[in-house]
Chains A and B, each alone.
Chain A
Amino acid sequence: MAQAMSGRGKLTARLARHSTGIIASVLFVAPIVWTVLSALKPAQEARLPPLPPWPTTGFSLENYATLNSFGDGLWASAQNSIYVSVMTVILSVVVSVLAGYGFSRFRFPFKDLFFVLILSTIMIPFQSILTPIFLVLTKLGLHNTLTGLVGVYVTLQLPFSIFMMRNAFDAVPREIEEAARMDGAGNATMLVKVMLPLVWPGVVTIALFAFLGAWNEFLAALVLMTDQSKFTLPVMMTALQSGRFGAIDWGAVQAGVTVMMVPCLILFLALQRFYIRGLMAGAVK
């Protein structure tokens, strides 16, 4: 009797638990799904309130086509975003791996000063130094160029990614290096052939954060990219949503938001454990 009771109690608890979980999950995921589905409606239908969220008059890619006709087009902004994000990933990985290795394995003058300097930039909000960054880029002839934007984005990633990489290199036992050195490996060979495979998870983590950071950044791109042909997706979509290209086409907004969200979601789902790892590293430090 008592056992049956506790069995039923357990069942109720489990039921309560999963209904809570399912309801909360739906609340968090619904806006994303709603947008992705609505974007597939024909333009006529996309203008109406999204009830129900899925297309009722047939699937269509019309909204994506419309989006491509605004200004320089969706594809141009998407290319800008892809270029900026990929370059940010490559450069921040290269710079942080080198710096992480340098800070982990060598003693040189001003080492501690440089390390503290790089980490302390995390305290300074870049929003407060955008004007001078704009002037510095102008001086360098990088004003209104995607390359300039990449430089800024890479710098924003450095405190986190150098901290990550230094810790990753610190965790590699020195014996491995010494053994490789005995075999005649030079510094560069050592780093690429011996160390890199060992710190690989750290590299994936910082690459992921660099991509998401660059892909999603808005304010710096808004301020630094004044020429429409240089707009990244967030800037382009905001211009569209503000009615800069005439009446707001909500179908096109849904399509644009989908394009902005999907790469982030795919990368996150595929590399989730690296993402959580990065968060933990930040949280536990």
Chain B
Amino acid sequence: MTSIATTTTAPPRARKLVGAGRRQWIGLLYVAPAVALVMLFFVIPLGMTAWMSLHNWPLMGEHSFIGLDNYWAILRDTRFWNALKFTGYYTVVVTIAIFAVAFPLAIFIERQRPFTNLYRTMFFMPAVVGFASASLLWSWLLNVDSGLFSPAAYDLGLIDKKFNLLATFQPAFWSIIAMVVWKVAGFTMIILMTGLQSIPQDLQEAAVIDGAGPFARFRAITLPLMRRTLALALILSVAGSILAFDQFYIILRGGPRNQTLTAVYWIFNQSFVSFKLGYGAALSMVLLVVLVALSLVQLWLLRKPEGLD
């Protein structure tokens, strides 16, 4: 009680304001380590990427300014465009596949019923395993001699000769899709589940009373009310797929015949295998522009519904 009394008298209050002003500045100290790290490992490297992209920059020896030459070279780099094309194709296919599996699962576990939590945990388990672990695991399962799929199919008499899934493009590509869906579907499922749970139950019930069938309800209620969640799940899947590297490096090494080199993989090869750092930086700038454009689309898709702010 006494302390409140003193703060209400004039002189201490003035002093408190000064103290408060000083205290506010201390906030800068609290955020300083974070800002320093972001500067050191994000802002400076970002500036350097732009700077390096204008140079011929070998790992050893002097670098020299060459203006936009790296960018002109990119225009003629058919292998980069092929990598970009493949990345786009992979992104579309894998995103559709993930949604095709994750959406039914989300509906399946949305409502609290016996064993729902157990099922949800099971579906989610591959999502906490790393991409590298999952890729190593599947590279074993997909192996023609020591793996599971090919020998099992052979033992069951489905094929009369062991079939190497990783030797040609189509089976290799679809094997990767299967692996990624296995690994990621649980994650997308949880995101979609939060969207489903945010739809008011009485809205669905009212629609049932009005005689709307399940499909009509899904289209008229579920989808529109889940717009932001759907957009988020979509963006996470698209952004993650555009940056895909681990699974193609570990399981396929970009093969067969370099047909599964992704954009990040190509940049990795140019920068850290061929050590053309300047050229790699220019390629990175292109990737960066694609991703930032995507983020802007994301912000637009995730905007709050009008009038609901």
Out of A49, A131, A250, A279, name the residue touching B281 (CB < 8 Å).
A131
- Is the Cβ of B24 less than 8 Å from the Cβ of A261? no
- Is the Cβ of B24 less than 8 Å from the Cβ of A108? yes
Question: How far apart are the CA atoms of A223 and B148 in the complex, in Å?
Answer: 31
Q: What residues of chain A lie closer than 8 Å to B238, measured between beta carbons?
A: none
- Residues of B74-130 contacting chain A, CB below 8 A: 105, 108, 113, 115, 118-119, 121-126, 128-130
B38 within 8 A of A: yes
Closest-CB distance, A276 to chain B (whole angstroms) = 7
- Is the Cβ of B128 less than 8 Å from the Cβ of A128? no
Which of A59-67, A72-80, A152-160 sits within the interface? Answer: A152-160
A200 within 8 A of B: no
**Binary interface encoding of chain A residues 267-285 relative to chain B, with 1 for a CB under 8 A from any of its CBs, else 0:** 1110010011001100110
- Is the Cβ of B41 less than 8 Å from the Cβ of A136? yes
Closest-CB distance, B193 to chain A (whole angstroms) = 9
- Is the Cβ of A154 less than 8 Å from the Cβ of B27? no
Q: Is the interface of A mostly helix, strand, loop or mixed?
A: helix
A107 within 8 A of B: yes
- Is the Cβ of A151 less than 8 Å from the Cβ of B41? yes
Q: What residues of chain B lie closer than 8 Å to A94, measured between beta carbons?
A: 33
Q: What residues of chain B lie closer than 8 Å to A202, measured between beta carbons?
A: none
Count of interface residues, chain B, beta-carbon cutoff 8 Å: 90
Question: How far apart are the CA atoms of A124 and B291 in the complex, in Å?
Answer: 7
- Is the Cβ of B190 less than 8 Å from the Cβ of A276? yes
A109 within 8 A of B: yes
Instruction: Please judge, given known A-B contacts A106-B26, A108-B27, A223-B272, whether A32 and B35 are in contact too, CB under 8 Å.
Output: no
Question: How far apart are the CA atoms of A187 and B24 in the complex, in Å?
Answer: 11
B205 within 8 A of A: no
Q: What residues of chain A lie closer than 8 Å to B43, measured between beta carbons?
A: 117
Question: How far apart are the CA atoms of A135 and B45 in the complex, in Å?
Answer: 9
Instruction: Please judge, given known A-B contacts A117-B43, A118-B38, A218-B131, whether A28 and B123 are in contact too, CB under 8 Å.
Output: yes
- Is the Cβ of B186 less than 8 Å from the Cβ of A123? no
Q: Nearest A residue to B117 by beta-carbon distance?
A: A272
Closest-CB distance, A85 to chain B (whole angstroms) = 11
B158 within 8 A of A: no
Closest-CB distance, A124 to chain B (whole angstroms) = 6
Q: Nearest B residue to A162 by beta-carbon distance?
A: B34
B232 within 8 A of A: yes
Q: Which of A151, A215, A283 has the most CB of B within 10 A?
A: A283
Question: How far apart are the CA atoms of A205 and B155 in the complex, in Å?
Answer: 46
Closest-CB distance, B166 to chain A (whole angstroms) = 13
Closest-CB distance, A257 to chain B (whole angstroms) = 5
A96 within 8 A of B: yes
Q: What residues of chain A lie closer than 8 Å to B27, measured between beta carbons?
A: 102-103, 105-108, 111
B206 within 8 A of A: no
- Is the Cβ of A131 less than 8 Å from the Cβ of B148? no
Q: What residues of chain A lie closer than 8 Å to B271, measured between beta carbons?
A: 130-131
Out of B29, B123, B249, B288, name the residue touching A128 (CB < 8 Å).
B288
Question: How far apart are the CA atoms of A167 and B288 in the complex, in Å?
Answer: 29
Instruction: Please judge, given known A-B contacts A31-B137, A125-B243, A283-B194, whether A158 and B31 are in contact too, CB under 8 Å.
Output: no
B71 within 8 A of A: no
A193 within 8 A of B: no
Instruction: Please judge, given known A-B contacts A131-B52, A253-B140, whether A95 and B34 are in contact too, CB under 8 Å.
Output: yes
Instruction: Please judge, given known A-B contacts A31-B137, A32-B129, A128-B284, whether A21 and B115 are in contact too, CB under 8 Å.
Output: yes
- Is the Cβ of B31 less than 8 Å from the Cβ of A102? yes
Out of A24, A101, A158, A212, name the residue touching B37 (CB < 8 Å).
A158
- Is the Cβ of A98 less than 8 Å from the Cβ of B34? yes
Q: What residues of chain A lie closer than 8 Å to B140, measured between beta carbons?
A: 35, 250, 253-254, 257
Closest-CB distance, A33 to chain B (whole angstroms) = 10
Out of B37, B121, B125, B295, name the residue touching A155 (CB < 8 Å).
B37
- Is the Cβ of A264 less than 8 Å from the Cβ of B148? no
Q: Which of A49, A94, A124, A136 has the most CB of B within 10 A?
A: A49
- Residues of A120-167 contacting chain B, CB below 8 A: 121, 123-133, 135-136, 151-152, 154-155, 158, 162
Question: How far apart are the CA atoms of A275 and B30 in the complex, in Å?
Answer: 26
CB-CB nearest 5 A-B residue pairs: A106-B27, A216-B130, A102-B30, A49-B151, A132-B45
Q: A99-B35, A108-B27, A264-B128 are in contact. List 12 more A-B contacts (CB 8 A).
A: A17-B113, A25-B119, A31-B182, A34-B148, A106-B28, A109-B28, A124-B46, A127-B267, A129-B48, A212-B130, A241-B250, A264-B129
Question: 23 A-B residue contacts at CB 8 Å?
Answer: A25-B118, A28-B185, A47-B146, A48-B146, A49-B147, A98-B33, A99-B35, A102-B29, A107-B24, A123-B291, A124-B46, A131-B52, A132-B49, A133-B45, A136-B41, A151-B37, A151-B41, A215-B130, A241-B250, A250-B146, A260-B129, A283-B194, A283-B195
